[in-house]
Structure 1
Amino acid sequence: MPPSKSSKQKTQWKEIAHEAQALRDQSLADVGTTVQLPLQLPANVINIPEIVLSEANIRITSLSPQQLVALISNGRLSAQEVVQAFLERAVTAQKLTNCLTELLPQRAISQAIELDNHFSRSSVPVGPLHGLPISVKSHIGIAHRPLASGYCALFHSHARPVSDALVVQILTRAGAIVHARTAEPQSMMQLECASNIYGVTTNPYSHIALSSGGSSGGEGALIALHGSVLGIGSDVGGSIRVPAAACGIYGLKPTSFRVPTTGWSSTPPGADPIVTVLGPMGVNLEVLELFMRVVVAAESWKVEPALIPLPWRAVSIEPTAEKPLRLGIIWQDEVVHPHPPVQRVLREFADKVSGLSHVEVVNFPVYKHDEAWAIVSSLYFTDGGDADIAVMAESGEPLLPLTKWIMKENPGVKKLSRSELEYWLEEREEFRLEYSQHWNKTGRWNEASGSWENTVDAIICPVAPGVATRHNTAKYWTYTAVWNLLDYPALTFPAGRADKNIDVRDNRKRFLSGLDKENWQLYNPEVFHDMPVGLQIIGRRFEDEKIIAILKFLENSI
């Protein structure tokens, strides 16, 4: 008797995964390098590429994005040798952390040759990203390549795009070379990075025990290992910022409708109640700003009507005694208290910046983070997760633990009637209004001008209640998701390292909530020792330029 349709479905996902991994492995082989890793790897593999790669490769891949563009643009390096170096380093990163879905060596080298030929003819770079290798999260369309969004069934059933996503086209016209596509989790709704197609992406600072974060976890791990210096991630609840913090790099969640999303495998622009945004992840702050300048300068609102026609603005931060820079600190959100490394690093950062001339550091009162999660979680899956579960059923793939948690075990997820959807949309707008008023009250009302003055310029707060998580434990999103609900720009930056000798685990007896107790039980100073600690700076809507300028000022001053 032939196997039934249901029994075929139970194994179909395994066959798809095998095919996808074979495609990825072939793309690595096509790079033409043989990287031999040590037989015994340490837990922290962040420096392994410096041991196994050639001196020439290390020299190139250790350069900043600005140095790379400058050297290629003046002919001192060729785009071809640079992209080859990053392809080889990406192979190493994949072997260490499982961060890739595929490399694109033929495409990348071909484009590099075109750029070198152009430069040899004209001695002029094609744009501000001339020859810079970049990586792309895999649900962002690349011409003729699979789009799976972490699901086995979509690896086959999604029609392959005939052209690159709009944001990729913009960066390519500016001279960037896409050389790598990075791993993403099942459902795209995890703050870790695990799928049935490619497996688990690990953290280069602890490649066995800890996660790289998610959902842009492949980007986080690859960039941390310098297999890329600039990548494109996406964020609907922390998916750029959490992996950036976990892997010790920078990541920006922009205000929505500033970066085009046409050509990705996600919801249409403007159609989701909590808007997913694309944004940059990189090795330094300057490359994030460069990304935004290039993308916004393309005036994509003429192509993608949902975008806001707002040019990138020059912002200068020059605080004075009369107009100081005011930073509000959220120490904890009154639901889950951060782990000791996060508490300490935030306190140290606040102490440093408060010592600067004309910089004021004040406490920013928390505003209803528990209510924020109730709203945002109710708007993530307005069909109760039915569409996602149906996609998984097509190939018979099982729900992974964090997919099951967000869809099945989260009380906010339920199929909404029209009236229920309208209710939660009203709650979203009311929360946004209330929060704006809450922020205003950090300043004073000027009767003469009829406006609020001397309000906090930006908020500094934790990215998560801990550093990189143990696998399958990233279940508290609100430190990041509240800013998605409000649609405020949020920028993650590396601020320190965990230290088991300082960040001891005290014997807490009282907790803010059941979630707080659950999170506290996850903390182990030995496990998290020397892990990166990231913080985030938040501005009001469309203050993307301002938070970048503030962080640039602070980093240059402390």
Structure 2
Amino acid sequence: MSWESIAANKRQALNDSIPPEWRIPPAIFPPEDQLDVTTFPRESGFFTDRELEITSTAAPAILSHLAAGEWTSEEVARAFCKTAAVAHQLTNCLSEIFFDRAIAQAKELDVHLKQTGKTKGPFHGLPISIKDNFNLVGYDSTVGFASLVNDPATYNSTLVDLLLDAGAVLYCKTNVPTAMMIAESVNNVFGRTVNPRNRKLTSGGSSGGESALIAFGGSRIGVGTDIGGSLRIPAACTGIFTIRPSFGRFPNFQTRSGLAGQEAVLSVNGPLAKTLEEVVLWARTVVGQQPWIRDPKCLPIPWRSVEPKQKLKIAVLWHDGIVMPTPPVTRALKETVDKLKTAGHEIVTWAPTEHQDLVQTLARMFVADGGKSVRKLLEPTGEPFRPEMKMYEDATELGVYEMWQLQVTRNSLCKSYLDRWNDAGIDAVLCPTTPYSTVENGKFAYVGYTGVFNVLDYPAVSFPSGVTVDKSVDVAYADHKALSDIDAQIQNDYSADSVHGMPVNLQLVGRRLEDESVLAMTGVILQALASASGKQ
């Protein structure tokens, strides 16, 4: 079969797996020109009040209702499965659907609770969505390649086993870009996932199926991965929360990769959610399961209780010397800094001294194999390289010596950054997550603001700043002197009209392996923002 036929059959099978009763009736199906579909669950009449109550409740409260027997695991699973089915019809966010399996699992959990009076584990009955690359026995992990369709997993990812043992209900997998190496979730098998807040805009990548599902309301906590920004960029594009953890804090063993064996810069997994509280819940619970017992690369570091300083010293990276953030991101950064100063925090400017070298190092690491990993997954079906992956198609393979020298460069840059951090005596770096709030489908062009921290292996939280784009305020820069060719392209492409009303995320970066601290400091920043806005 041709790759086109394989892809078409896979898409049809995915759509056929949506139960008829959860298909949106034609009479209420939103027209294509309705860009914001996040209002559909509440305004369509397609959902019951109970379903809306369940899906709008934060995960800790859901767990409390389940443990008390006030809600059943089955009704919670059905509410999220139905919402995920609708989210997919409107945003194309799913890659695998196993609602029947989830509901059967939920029923078993209800029986367990009734018979024993105890929950199965800390995630008892909580539906959790997972990115396409997490292996689940019996289901594909195509990571966007036609050659991996109808190649179901014969083993679970370590994290999947951990979540199931903790009582989580897994019900769907979410779409990714080809090889998970594009900043938008688009591939030749499933096509493009769009942003539920504005379907002309991207939900980001590579965990863009997750971010679209969560922003729509079809999941409270979803799990994605990040090797160059693949958690933080989708969170930013949809205005939700995530943490890119330090390597070794969360288990990432036995997940499928588009660049298998590439370990010069390490992939990590982490949660995406609508609230910081839910991100912390996931992190604390997963580490509490002692993943180092199962994953040989996990570090035996229990989750630590952290009391953050109430007066932080924060270094602000206004731009990275390569790309200037677009106007709404610059405004969000300025307004956040003003509010932090008002709250008594010390603000200093952080120079992008190593950033250009770090960005270049990351780019060379990604294509060090000359694009062989991607090519070998495309060739069996004759699937072409997508245009977004030209750097892989054109890459020249590095020899072993050249790769070792690249890692020497990486290590020197890491040491330089650490020394500068220590000399400045800072607690965290505040910076853009991306140059964009989000951007029109097909126009995401730069991952430098996230990628540098993958090379450094620093934990980083992407969080909503509370600022939304205002086309009358966030007009294009006048007389902007481009920092680089890519900066000129991004500023030329910027359209305030296109992203009007979209949320703007920022990024808070902490010290390596101090994931607890960066989450706690994010809480302090959110408190300062809320106080300045009169919300407390």
Match of 1:490 among 445, 450, 460: 460
- TM superposition shift of 1:509: 4.3
The answer to whether the 8 Å contact 1:261/1:269 transfers is no
Aligned pairs for 1:18-29 (under 5 A) are 18-29=8-19
Q: Which moved more, 1:165-174 or 1:521-530?
A: 165-174
Are 1:385 and 2:371 counterparts?
yes
Are 1:417 and 2:399 counterparts?
yes
Runs ≥4 residues deviating over 3 A: 267-271
The answer to whether the 8 Å contact 1:139/1:147 transfers is yes
Q: Secondary structure of 2:22's match?
A: coil
Are 1:540 and 2:511 counterparts?
yes
- TM superposition shift of 1:270: 7.8
- TM superposition shift of 1:304: 2.1
Which stretches in structure 2 are left out of the alignment for 5+ residues? 532-536
The answer to whether the 8 Å contact 2:354/2:413 transfers is no
Name the counterpart of 2:451: 481
Name the counterpart of 2:433: 463
Are 1:407 and 2:406 counterparts?
no
User: How far does the alpha carbon of each residue in 1:65-92 deviate from its partner, in whole angstroms, 9 at most, with x for none?
Assistant: 1121111111111110011011111111
Q: Which moved more, 1:209-218 or 1:395-404?
A: 395-404
- TM superposition shift of 1:109: 0.4
Are 1:344 and 2:335 counterparts?
no
CA distance in 1, matches of 2:443, 2:415: 33
Name the counterpart of 1:34: 23
Q: Secondary structure of 2:75's match?
A: helix
- TM superposition shift of 1:268: 9.6
Are 1:300 and 2:291 counterparts?
yes
Name the counterpart of 2:472: 501
User: How far does the alpha carbon of each residue in 1:222-253 deviate from its partner, in whole angstroms, 9 at most, with x for none?
Assistant: 00011001011010000000000101111111
Q: Secondary structure of 2:314's match?
A: strand
- TM superposition shift of 1:395: 0.8
User: How far does the alpha carbon of each residue in 1:412-441 deviate from its partner, in whole angstroms, 9 at most, with x for none?
Assistant: x43001111111010010110111111122
The answer to whether the 8 Å contact 1:230/1:282 transfers is yes
User: How far does the alpha carbon of each residue in 1:496-525 deviate from its partner, in whole angstroms, 9 at most, with x for none?
Assistant: 211101111233242212221111011111
Q: CA RMSD in A?
A: 1.7
CA distance in 2, matches of 1:22, 1:267: 24
Q: Which moved more, 1:243-252 or 1:56-65?
A: 56-65
Which stretches in structure 1 are left out of the alignment for 5+ residues? 1-7, 443-454
- TM superposition shift of 1:327: 1.1
The answer to whether the 8 Å contact 1:25/1:102 transfers is no
Instruction: Give me the TM-score of the superposition, normalised by structure 2.
Output: 0.94
- TM superposition shift of 1:387: 2.3
Match of 1:524 among 487, 492, 495: 495
CA distance in 2, matches of 1:39, 1:48: 8
CA distance in 2, matches of 1:344, 1:425: 36
- TM superposition shift of 1:491: 0.8
Name the counterpart of 1:445: none
Match of 2:255 among 250, 255, 264: 264
The amino acid that maps onto 1:487 is D
- TM superposition shift of 1:269: 9.3
Size of the aligned set, in residue pairs, is: 523
Aligned pairs for 1:36-55 (under 5 A) are 36=25, 37-40=28-31, 41-52=33-44, 53-54=46-47, 55=49
Name the counterpart of 2:534: none
Are 1:137 and 2:142 counterparts?
no
Instruction: Give me the TM-score of the superposition, normalised by structure 1.
Output: 0.91
Residues 1:176 and 1:278: Cα distance change in structure 2 (over 3 Å)? same
- TM superposition shift of 1:398: 1.9
User: How far does the alpha carbon of each residue in 1:161-205 deviate from its partner, in whole angstroms, 9 at most, with x for none?
Assistant: 233211111122222111111001112100101011100000111
The amino acid that maps onto 2:23 is T
The answer to whether the 8 Å contact 1:171/1:294 transfers is no
Q: Secondary structure of 2:9's match?
A: helix
The answer to whether the 8 Å contact 1:148/1:155 transfers is yes
Are 1:363 and 2:349 counterparts?
yes
